[in-house]
């Protein structure tokens, strides 16, 4: 044990999340928060609607975040961040980042109107959606981010979800906001790079983070990072950036692994049919072509 | 964090739910059903386990990474992601 | 400076005088001219505030909430459907103990759609933890907005100032707009309170089993509001020479019959009361200005000596009757005086409540036994 100290920190060392939070073991959302705050730093104010993250941030009198937190109603994530920004502007405090943080339910569904409003006004906020493809906090119900073929408690087997995941990124791209990125907890350095890039830009910035959920996706918690990487390696969740609604940059490689590697690990896809799989393959290919075309 | 509130009486409670205590001290290690064991001989302190721990239960001290059993929930991500197989998972004996 | 303006304009001038810092509002008839005017003031710099053109009333209140948690002085205005859409956030604002001030231009709730005055919109929100004032004139609207900031910033409770759509909102009258220095004297910058701060992080609004304790604190401060609002009103009079009371009474001291109402109907009632007096009939008028907290004591005291009370409601709780009537009866129950209360529903959906209507109400109250149910005024035959 007399080796010289050779500790490496692959990502910024400062932690802005306290231990002792109550995320499930292997939680992807907790990792997403850890990485985003490493990218943004301590001069950040966050708003959190009802979501797993609301629970992870802790109940009164506790907080697991080292930054100021405002818990807000479900529909109001983006505008609540905008309100904080307006107050900061009027008080002349411009060096503080305002982070809106919601799950896919709070973003794709109930919070979409307020998000669209903020994006259209180009309010100076960073909006992060940690995407675990369902209403996990209330007990694994389907959201419009739940992929086709997936079991949830409101799409019970064999009547699993029969419509594909909503493409929130295209919706956001249509707002022509300065910066959009997809990122994954499987690639923290890439994720933090994108957060830091977003941080340097003004206006509405939107980052969608792929955050596997062991509890809701029915897999063993040690597989969280593996699954996150598989999501990208199979092309299910491509990583890319969009600047000003037009400049597309792909940050993930061509899918190299078969989709079934991704599905096989998850209990929620137990009812997946051959047909479903084929549809997925077609969709992944189409999406890849679409992105490649836009990225030039 | 502000400490001037207390939960002892109505008078010392804040006016609304303003959280003023950190979650540090909430021993989530009690949840653990399996226990990661770090083999220091194999570890080259690459930091991947530290990076991937959702509970910040791996920390650097004395020139090496350590596992905090106070907070480790035993998810096993560290063992799965360690490129040198330096973390083994054992059943938690209580 | 005296100016002929509408009550909606009085709202806007008051918000400028109060130096609001963040305004978020969504237009709705008959409130829209407030939004337009404030947007203009913010654009020209006449008011140094951030104006957020939100995409809904729900977001308007959400923006006010988060800006207020940062310590900014905030304002919004709405009406009817918009207020109903805000409902969830009204609870949220009071629960977070935020000094938000809002003008609500009373309008009937759909369906069917009706754009005109009806107090049911704001009265449906009386359990949300907001103080509520109901005004009678443009001057009162201006003054009440200024008072409301003082009140809300002391009690850390939000305040809703109500004015009836069109009847008040779009009626032009003389309003005395005070000098800014006078307003500044009465309404200094908000006292310091706990806010979100990166240098001293904490979390606002998380889940708690201490809920009942926080609600009790709110109850205590609502109770305190009854005395505090009177004190502020008295202080206001010292600076500006005007006061309004939590209730305002007219010829109630020796009245046999007292008309109880809120808002602009009170003015017509006073004219009719004078006519009745000329005929030797002792009629008085009591206007309820503050509805939350409900000033039961201040209402019962003048009523105590009357023989009959007629409550006129421009609002209605289906299955129960006039809302003011219920509240007044509940308060009277406390003093156990056996006073008969006659209930009248009038003017819903902006229907004019004329002097003839009031005379009919007085006649019915005078002649008929108390049937214990509401009489509707102005229905088709």
A84 and C66 within 8 Å at the Cβ level: the answer is: yes
- State which residue of chain A sits closest to B48, comparing Cα positions: A10
Structure tokens at C281: 């009939």
Residue A4 pLDDT > 80: no
The pLDDT, as a whole number, for residue C91 is: 98
Residue % of chain A over a pLDDT of 70: 98
A256 CB burial (10 A radius; 0-12, 13-18, 19+): exposed
What's the pLDDT band for A1 if we cut at 50, 70, 90? very low
Mutation choice for B interface testing from A2, A61, A192 by most B CBs within 10 A: A61
Residue C346 pLDDT > 60: yes
| Number of alpha carbons in the 13 Å side-chain half-sphere of residue B84 | 13
From B9's Cα to the closest Cα of chain A, the distance in A is 14
CA distance linking residue A188 with residue A134, whole number of Å: 22
Q: Which of C58, C67, C206 sits opposite A84 (nearest CB)?
A: C67
- State which residue of chain B sits closest to A55, comparing Cα positions: B23
Of A231, A146, A148, A143, the residue nearest A187 (C-alpha): A231
Q: Distance of CA A259 to CAs A106, A164, A262, B21, C369, Å?
A: 28, 16, 5, 45, 81
DSSP string of C59-104, one letter each residue: HHHHHHHHHHHTT--EEEEE-HHHHHHHHHHHHHHHHTT---EEEE
Residues in CB range of A288: below 8 A, 6 or more apart: A235, A238, A254, A255
Tens digit of each residue's pLDDT (9 = 90 or more) over B67-89 = 999 999 999 999 999 999 999 99
Beta bridge partners of A208: A129, A182
C59 and A66 within 8 Å at the Cβ level: the answer is: no
Q: Count A/C contacts: CB-CB distance under 8 Å.
A: 148
What's the pLDDT band for B2 if we cut at 50, 70, 90? low
- Find the helix packing angle between C7-17 and C138-155, rounded to 10°: 40
A289 touches chain C (CB under 8 A): no
A41 touches chain C (CB under 8 A): no
What's the pLDDT band for A5 if we cut at 50, 70, 90? low
- Which residues 201-230 of A have a C-beta within 8 angstroms of B? 214, 220-226
A120 touches chain C (CB under 8 A): yes
Of A163, A255, A258, A173, the residue nearest A208 (C-alpha): A173
Tens digit of each residue's pLDDT (9 = 90 or more) over A234-267 = 999 999 999 999 999 999 888 899 999 999 999 9
Tens digit of each residue's pLDDT (9 = 90 or more) over C201-217 = 999 999 999 999 999 99
Of C84, C88, C99, C96, the residue nearest C26 (C-alpha): C84
Give the torsion through C-alpha atoms of C289, C294, C295, C300, to 10 deg: 100
Report the 10 Å Cβ neighbour count for A286.
10
A63 and B19 within 8 Å at the Cβ level: the answer is: yes
Tens digit of each residue's pLDDT (9 = 90 or more) over C308-325 = 999 999 999 999 999 999
From A275's Cα to the closest Cα of chain B, the distance in A is 32
A137 touches chain B (CB under 8 A): no
Subunits in contact with chain B (3 or more CB pairs closer than 8 Å): A, C
What CATH number labels A28-295? 3.40.50.970
Domains of chain C: 2-240 (3.40.50.970), 247-376 (3.40.50.920)
B61 CB burial (10 A radius; 0-12, 13-18, 19+): exposed
Tens digit of each residue's pLDDT (9 = 90 or more) over A139-177 = 999 999 999 999 999 999 999 999 999 999 999 999 999
What's the pLDDT band for A69 if we cut at 50, 70, 90? very high
Which CATH architecture fits B28-91?
A: 2-Layer Sandwich (3.30)
DSSP tag of C338: -
* ipTM for the predicted complex: 0.96
The pLDDT, as a whole number, for residue C372 is: 75
């Amino acid at each position: 044990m007399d080796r010289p100290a050779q500790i490496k920190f692959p990502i910024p060392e400062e932690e802005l999340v306290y231990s002792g939070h109550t995320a499930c073991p292997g939680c992807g959302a907790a990792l997403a928060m850890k990485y985003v705050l490493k990218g943004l730093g301590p001069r950040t104010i966050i708003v959190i609607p009802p979501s797993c993250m609301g629970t992870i941030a802790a109940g009164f009198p506790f907080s697991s975040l080292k930054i100021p937190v405002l818990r807000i109603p479900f529909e109001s994530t983006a505008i609540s961040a905008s309100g904080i920004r307006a107050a900061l502007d009027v008080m002349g405090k411009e060096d503080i980042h305002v982070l809106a943080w919601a799950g896919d339910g709070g973003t794709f569904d109930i919070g979409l109107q307020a998000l669209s409003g903020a994006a259209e006004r180009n309010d100076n906020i960073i909006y992060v959606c940690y995407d675990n493809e369902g209403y996990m906090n209330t007990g694994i119900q389907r959201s419009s981010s739940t992929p086709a073929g997936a079991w949830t408690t409101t799409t019970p087997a064999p009547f699993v979800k029969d419509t594909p995941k909503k493409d929130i990124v295209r919706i956001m791209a249509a707002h022509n906001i300065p910066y959009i990125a997809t990122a994954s907890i499987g690639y923290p350095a890439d994720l933090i790079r994108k957060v830091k890039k977003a941080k340097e830009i003004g206006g509405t910035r939107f980052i969608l983070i792929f955050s596997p959920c062991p509890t809701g996706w029915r897999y063993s918690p040690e597989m969280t990072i593996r699954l996150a990487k598989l999501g990208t390696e199979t092309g299910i969740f491509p990583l890319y950036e969009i600047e000003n609604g037009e400049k597309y940059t792909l940050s993930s490689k061509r899918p190299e692994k078969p989709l079934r590697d991704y599905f096989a690990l998850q209990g929620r896809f137990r009812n997946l049919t051959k047909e479903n799989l084929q549809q997925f393959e077609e969709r992944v290919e189409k999406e890849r072509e679409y992105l490649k075309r836009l990225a030039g | 964090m502000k400490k001037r509130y207390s939960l002892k009486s109505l008078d010392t409670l804040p006016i609304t739910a303003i959280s003023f205590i950190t979650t540090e001290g909430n021993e989530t290690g009690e949840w653990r059903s399996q226990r990661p064991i770090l083999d220091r001989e194999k570890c080259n302190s690459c930091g991947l386990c530290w990076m991937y721990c959702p509970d910040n239960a791996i920390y650097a001290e004395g020139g090496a990474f350590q596992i905090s059993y106070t907070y480790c929930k035993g998810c096993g991500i560290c063992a799965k992601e360690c490129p040198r197989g330096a973390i083994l998972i054992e059943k938690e004996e209580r | 400076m005296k100016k002929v303006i509408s009550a909606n304009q009085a709202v806007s001038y008051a918000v400028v005088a109060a130096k609001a810092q963040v305004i978020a509002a969504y237009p709705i008839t008959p409130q829209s001219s407030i939004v337009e005017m404030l947007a203009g003031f913010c654009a020209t710099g006449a008011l140094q505030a951030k104006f957020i053109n939100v995409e809904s009333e729900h977001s308007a209140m959400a923006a006010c909430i988060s800006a207020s948690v940062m310590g900014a002085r905030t304002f919004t205005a709405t009406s009817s459907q918009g207020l109903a859409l805000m409902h969830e956030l009204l609870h949220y604002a009071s629960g977070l103990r935020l000094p938000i001030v809002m003008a609500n231009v009373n309008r009937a709730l759909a369906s069917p759609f009706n754009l005109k005055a009806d107090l049911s919109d704001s009265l449906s929100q009386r359990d949300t933890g907001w103080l509520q004032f109901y005004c009678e004139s443009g001057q009162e609207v201006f003054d009440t907005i200024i008072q409301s900031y003082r009140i809300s910033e002391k009690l850390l409770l939000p305040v809703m100032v109500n004015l009836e759509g069109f009847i008040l909102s779009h009626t032009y009258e003389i309003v005395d707009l005070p000098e800014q220095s006078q307003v500044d004297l009465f309404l200094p910058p908000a006292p310091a309170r706990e806010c979100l701060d990166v240098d001293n992080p904490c979390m606002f609004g998380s889940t708690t089993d201490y809920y009942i304790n926080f609600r009790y604190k709110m109850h205590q401060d609502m109770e305190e509001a009854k005395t505090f609002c009177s004190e502020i009103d008295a202080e206001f009079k010292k600076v500006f020479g005007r006061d309004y009371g939590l209730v305002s009474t007219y010829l109630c001291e020796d009245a046999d019959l007292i008309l109880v109402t809120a808002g602009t109907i009170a003015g017509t009632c006073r004219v009719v009361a004078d006519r009745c007096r000329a005929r030797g009939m002792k009629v008085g008028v009591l206007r309820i200005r503050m509805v939350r907290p409900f000033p039961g004591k201040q209402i019962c005291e003048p009523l105590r000596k009357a023989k009959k009370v007629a409550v006129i409601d421009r609002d209605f709780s289906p299955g129960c009757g006039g809302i003011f009537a219920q509240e007044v009866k509940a308060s009277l129950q406390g003093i156990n005086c056996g006073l008969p209360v006659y209930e009248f529903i009038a003017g819903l959906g902006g229907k004019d409540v004329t002097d003839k209507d009031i005379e009919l109400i007085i006649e019915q109250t005078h002649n008929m036994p108390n049937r214990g149910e509401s009489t509707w005024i102005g229905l088709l035959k």
